[in-house]
Structure 1
Amino acid sequence: MFVARLDIAIDTLRHRQDLIDRTAPMIALLHGQNEVGYSFWTRRRAHVEELLSGYGGSPEGYDNLSDLLQSARTLERKFEDRTRRLNSRMTSMQNRKSDIEKSLLDLQRSKDKLAMSLELTREREALNRTISALDDGPGNFGFVPEDTGVATDLRSARQAVVLAEALLELKGHQGS
C-alpha cells in the first residue's frame, strides 16, 4: 500500500516535471524575443531623443517627433516589463523543477528503504516459520531434540537477524 502511494506521488511529480520541460523552451523563446524588442525600442527612443534635441524644423514636425518619442518610451517600458516578468517566470520554473527533482530523489530513496524493510520482514517471517517448524516438527513430540546445538544455532541466527535489522534501521535514519 505504501509503495503504491509512493509510486503515485512519483508519477505525479514526473508529470509536473514533464510539463515544465515542455513549457520552459517556450518561455525562453518569448523571453529572448522580448529582450530583442526591448533593445530595439531602447535604441529607437535614444535615436528619436537625439533627433528631437537637435530639431530646428516646423512645430508640426516637432510634435510628430514628440509623439514618436512618447510611443517609443511606452513600447520600451512594455517590453522591459514583459521581459522582467518572463525572466521571473523562468526563474520560478527552474526553482520548481529543482524542487521536484529533489522530491523525486527523496521519494525514490524512501521507496527503496521501504522495499528493503519489507524484504527483511518477509525474510524474518520465513526464518521464524522455519524455526517454528523445526521446534514443533512432526518427529519432535515435545521431547528435547538430541542435537541441542541446532536450537542454540537457530536462536543465534534469529538474534543476528534482529541485530542486522536494527542496524539497517539505524543507518536508514542516519542517512535521512
Structure 2
Amino acid sequence: MGRERLALIDDDEAFCVALGRALERNGFEVGCAHTPQDALRLVKKLAPTYAVVDLRLGEFSGLPVVEKLCRHDPQMRIVVLTGYASIATAVEAIKLGAIQYLTKPTDPDDLIAAFAQREGDSAVMPAITPLPPRRLEWEYIQRVLHEHDYNISATARALGMHRRTLQRKLQKFPVRE
C-alpha cells in the first residue's frame, strides 16, 4: 500500500521543509507549494488526500485556495494553519470546506490528529472569561476585512479609520485570548 499524499501550502519555505520532513517521517508523501498558483498545479500533479493550507500566502489569503481545493476534490481533508487566527477566518475556512483550523506553532501530531477527526467535539467547553477588548477589536477588524474581500482601503473607510492606522493594526500579531 502506498503512502498517503499530502499537499503542504505555505509561503515560508523553511517551515515547509521542516514540517514536510516531520510528516514524511509519519508516513506521508509530501509536496510543497508556496503560492496559490503553485498550490493548484501541485494538487493536479500530486492528487493528495490531505492538504495543509496557510491562511496567509505572502500577500494572498489562503481561503480562496481552500475553496478551489474543495472544488477540485470534495473528499480532500484540508487543515488551515495560521499564525493570524481570528474567529472570522476560522468560520470562513470551515464554511469553505476545511475540516480543521489550527494556529501556529503546531506539531505534526496535532495535524495528523486533525486529519483523523471525523466529527466535532461537543465536550469542548466555552471560555470562562470574555475576550479582552483589544482581542475583540482584532476580531472585528478581521470580520470587516473579510467582508471587503481583504481590500485595505475599503476596510479602512468602513471602519472610519486612516488606511495607515489599519495597516499598523494588521501588522501586529493578534492579541492572545
Q: Which interval holds the TM-score relative to the shorter structure?
A: under 0.3
Give the strand-richer structure, 1 or 2.
Answer: 2
Normalised to the residue count of structure 1, the TM-score between the two structures is: 0.19
Give the helix-richer structure, 1 or 2.
Answer: 1
Normalised to the residue count of structure 2, the TM-score between the two structures is: 0.19
Larger Rg: 1
